[in-house]
Amino acid sequence: MSAISVRWACKVFGEGHSRIVALDKVCLDIDDGEFVTLVGASGCGKSTLLRMLAGLETHTSGEIEAGGQSVVAPGADRAMVFQDYSLYPWLTVIENIKFPRQLAVHTRDCTSADVETASGRADALLCAMGLSGVTNAYPPQLSGGMQQRVAIARALMARPKILLMDEPFGALDAQTREVMHDLILHVSKLEGCTVVFVTHDVDEAIYLGRRVVLMAPRPGRVDSVYDVPLPRERALAMKHSPEFLALRFRILERIRDTSGMRTDLELLQRLSQQAVPI
Amino acid sequence: MKSGTWKIRGWLSQRSYWTLAAIGLAVPLVAWTALSLSDSVNHVFLPGPLDVVRRLATWFSEDRLLDDIGISTFRVVAGWSLSALVALPLGLMIGNFRVVQALLEPLTDFVRYMPAVAFIPLVMLWIGIDEGAKVAIIFIGTFFQMVLMVAEDVRRVPMAQIEAAQTMGATRWEIIEKVIIPSAKPALLDTLRITMGWAWTYLVVAELVAANSGLGYSIVKAQRFLQTDKIFAGIILIGAIGLATDQAFRFVRRLAFPYLYVRG
């Protein structure tokens, strides 16, 4: 069964002269438990598509279903991790992770046994994300990588079926990012949730995704979908495997072709050939 | 002071900071003393610091200074509290809902440019000349600014904080109660602190309305009798009370929001 099904979804911003088609007739099926990455040049609508899956953005036409239910608004079954500024700085790390427990959706018909289970779950997440040492710290005291671990733990707290990630590691340095990659692969396998991950980093998209969805701009659309020819269990060394490099090359070429970068590159080439002093 | 003192947004040690602050306060005081001792200026125009201190002492012993402070503080705090009581929920609504914003913000923007002093005759007509009138003037002076500042504080809550709560399944009220209000709290406290300062500046205006006590009233009365030393004393008192209130607010801020003062 597919966890997410997008049928001919369109998104139009503005009206009249300022009308912009952000997404044009997008179709996409994502399986239960799949890890799919969305990659593309800026303006291709990958974040918009993710926000539509979350229900934070409404689609202008077409149909979007998550878990067989039509998506009309945000829901606890689809948690989202943002790039930045989504933690609550007035709450400690553990309070942030337990935040969903403050909401009626997660506490309705709740017995004391459930509360205990939840408390255990928070501790388990704390452990799994390597946050045990900073349980009672406030977010501003943590590094960017640690803050994103808290954000992921908080998103997972209520056992969402689907985890949506909007360039969650975009602001982190390369070393921290590599650690986070293995961490998110590990945790998503542990949780068994479906992950849709938006990034502009092709390496990241291939390393994490079972499938890579390449999107193209003007108008935003799904251009092509690639199955990643790597074993399910990923390891850092695979980034140097010929399969990885070949796919990386193909995707980067395709991004250049679809993003209008080609003309810029040709212009640069011509300029360097002429070698006329400017 | 090392190099880097003049770096934009540079660093300064606590000691240097307070030394400079003391100098900044002392220089005008010394200049004032020197000017008043030099006899180049008539004492009626510029009383010396000692005259002012002496005046304060007689005001305290013979003229019920504490009563004046008490009644003025009451008027300021009453007008300011009343305006906070209305401005906080209203600003919250304006900041959260575009409908309310469209309905009320242009109106508020319009009214806030109207001079509070000009309302005095109307306030006297409508409310009378009792305490209510003085409180009303201070209310008019602070309320409209406060609403807009509260709305802005609310709007500054990062969208990601709100959207994160939405994707965790929070309802609209839960988002307001558990995300927007706690997130905006420090900014709201700052808004209250700043508007308290404005409330004090409206005191003299408010006590133009048939008052017979209060610091502002005393200043106006002293003007009639050319008691410049009393005018100085009144102004300095208001300044000192304002400074003390401001520090109290900052102290509360540190207690109430420890997370703003932690650093890894």
Of A74, A222, A97, A213, give the one whose Cα is nearest residue A151: A97
Low-confidence ranges of chain A (pLDDT < 50): none
Helix then strand then coil, % of chain B, to nearest 5 = 80, 0, 20
Whether the CB of A237 is below 8 Å from some CB of chain B: the reply is no
Cβ contacts (< 8 Å) between A99 and chain B: which residues? 165, 168, 178
Whether the CB of A141 is below 8 Å from some CB of chain B: the reply is yes
Q: Find, in chain A, the residue whose alpha carbon is nearest to that of B165.
A: A100
Q: Chain A closest CA to B199's CA: distance in Å? A: 30
Size of interface A-B (CB pairs under 8 A): 94
**What pLDDT score was predicted for residue A224?**
93
Q: Hey, of A48, A51, A98, A99, which one would you mutate to test binding to chain B, going by the most B CBs within 10 A of its CB?
A: A99
pLDDT in tens, B106-136: 999 999 888 888 888 898 899 888 899 999 9
Do A79 and B167 lie within an 8 Å CB cutoff? yes
Do B168 and A164 lie within an 8 Å CB cutoff? no
Cis peptide bond upstream of A219, omega within 30:
yes
pLDDT in tens, B1-40: 456 678 888 888 999 999 999 999 999 999 999 988 887 8
Name which of A54, A78, A86 is nearest B160 (Cβ-Cβ): A86
**Full DSSP string of B19-82:** HHHHHHHHHHHHHHHHHHHTTSS-TTTS--HHHHHHHHHHHHHHS-HHHHHHHHHHHHHHHHHH
Q: Hey, of B156, B168, B177, B185, which one would you mutate to test binding to chain A, going by the most A CBs within 10 A of its CB?
A: B168
Whether the CB of A108 is below 8 Å from some CB of chain B: the reply is no
Cβ contacts (< 8 Å) between A118 and chain B: which residues? none
Do A74 and B158 lie within an 8 Å CB cutoff? no
Q: Chain A closest CA to B178's CA: distance in Å? A: 8
Amino acid at A2: S
Of A82, A88, A111, give the one whose Cα is nearest residue A100: A88
Do B264 and A103 lie within an 8 Å CB cutoff? no
B contact residues 182-201, partner A, Cβ 8 Å cutoff: 182-183, 185
Do B163 and A74 lie within an 8 Å CB cutoff? yes
Name which of B171, B259, B263 is nearest A89 (Cβ-Cβ): B259
Asked if residues A49 and A38 have their Cβ atoms less than 8 Å apart, the reply is yes
Q: Chain B closest CA to A84's CA: distance in Å? A: 7
**What pLDDT score was predicted for residue A277?**
60
Residues 6 or more apart whose Cβ sits within 8 Å of residue A274 = none
Whether the CB of B170 is below 8 Å from some CB of chain A: the reply is yes
3-state secondary structure of A224: strand
Cβ contacts (< 8 Å) between A140 and chain B: which residues? 259-260, 262-264
- The answer to whether the Cα torsion of B103, B105, B110, B111 is positive or negative is positive
Do A88 and B174 lie within an 8 Å CB cutoff? no
Cβ contacts (< 8 Å) between B167 and chain A: which residues? 54-56, 74-76, 78-80, 155, 164
Of B236, B244, B242, give the one whose Cα is nearest residue B32: B236
Low-confidence ranges of chain B (pLDDT < 70): 1-4, 264
Whether the CB of B25 is below 8 Å from some CB of chain A: the reply is no
In this prediction the ipTM stands at 0.89
Tokens standing for A221? 């659309």
What's A238's DSSP letter? G
**What pLDDT score was predicted for residue A240?**
92
Do B169 and A75 lie within an 8 Å CB cutoff? yes
Q: pTM for this one? A: 0.87
Name which of A74, A83, A90 is nearest B166 (Cβ-Cβ): A74
Q: How far apart are CA A22 and CA A72, in angstroms?
A: 18
Q: How far apart are CA A116 and CA A276, in angstroms?
A: 74
Cβ contacts (< 8 Å) between B180 and chain A: which residues? none
Whether the CB of A95 is below 8 Å from some CB of chain B: the reply is no
